[in-house]
Amino acid sequence: MNSLKDYAQEQPINHLMARHWDEIEIKEVAEALLRAVKQNQLADFVVTDSLQKETVLEYFAAFAGQELRCIDTVFTLFYQVAAADDYNDLRGHLLLTFQTAATEYRVLLGMSRLGNAEGVRWQVYDVLWQDQGISVADVPLVQLEAPESGEEICVLVTNHGDIRLRLFPDQAPLAVANWQSMAKDGFYDGSLFARVIKEFVIQGGALDGSGDEALSNYGGYFADEVRKGLYHFNGAVALGNHGPHTNGNQFFIVQNTKVNEPQLPKLSLPRNVEEAYLKLGGLPELDGRYTVFGQVYKGMDIVVNISDQMTDAEDAPLKPVVIQRVIFERV
């Protein structure tokens, strides 16, 4: 019978960088581990003499029999420890992201590379951290639906053409009410898209740093409304801010036709949202930080045209892009 060892007490003697083939290998190990979890056959994947072995077995027992999908594997630490031979001296902290049918989980595993001249393999010695799971079930994407008959929509009349927006008062009531009030009072009439970055955003409102960006229907900055169901898809309309709950009159329209695909596994997105990002483009890295309150449903060619304008070092168009007026009409 093996005496138990506390792998958590080992001290690094050298920090290393995981090589590309290390990352390929550990992903293959993780995929095989998850298949073994389904079959409740973990013997080959758990360090037999680890003091924390039962913790590992208990964690994965909760997922026995389920179809598990490996989403992402990242070594957050990769290091050497003092060992009797080089076959047994590598350790790693592996952040494993995996999904059941409708929930995503992340767990930080202590990993040991153990073996001898006959071969080596990575095995789990401890569960260092775990979350409680995040739903990745499909959500309604009202943002991508066409406007209904009788719905009030918003039109940005610019010197490049008209941009038509849907607004979402049910999901972002504060933002929509503020936008409607300020727009109908003429706040945006004659204002500029003062910041334009191709394949990112076009941005308007008070951007001059004077403090006027805090002007709102509420007498100053107001709270975020970050909702699951509204995302930074290409054409999304959102409020600019300076941090949490600093919404005023700044706004931007997303103009990005392709997502940074390697980012997606890091974001716990519902599966239909991930599919929509891949199809439509957008900026998923902004989700959870900015209030989306509208979506361009007609006039994205105008948004693209604006994004194509030559700009100065401050991303301001050399030829002014003017919001001549903002009007509201019924479909």
Tell how far CA 148 is from the center of its chain: 30
Q: Domains of the chain by range and CATH?
A: 7-135 (3.10.450), 142-330 (2.40.100.10)
Express as a percent the part of the chain with pLDDT over 70: 98
pLDDT of 1: 47
Q: Which residues of the chain have pLDDT under 70?
A: 1-2, 208-211
- pLDDT, residue 71, reads 96
pTM: 0.89
Kindly report, residue by residue over 167-184, the tens digit of the pLDDT: 999 999 999 999 999 999
Q: What's the pLDDT at 227?
A: 80
Give the whole-angstrom CA distance, residue 294 versus residue 238.
7
User: H or E stretch including 177?
Assistant: helix 173-184
Kindly tell me the burial class for residue 305, based on how many C-beta atoms sit within 10 Å of its own C-beta (0-12, 13-18, 19 or more).
middle
State how far the alpha carbon of 214 is from the alpha carbons of 84, 154, 178, 224, 312, in Å. 64, 22, 12, 14, 25
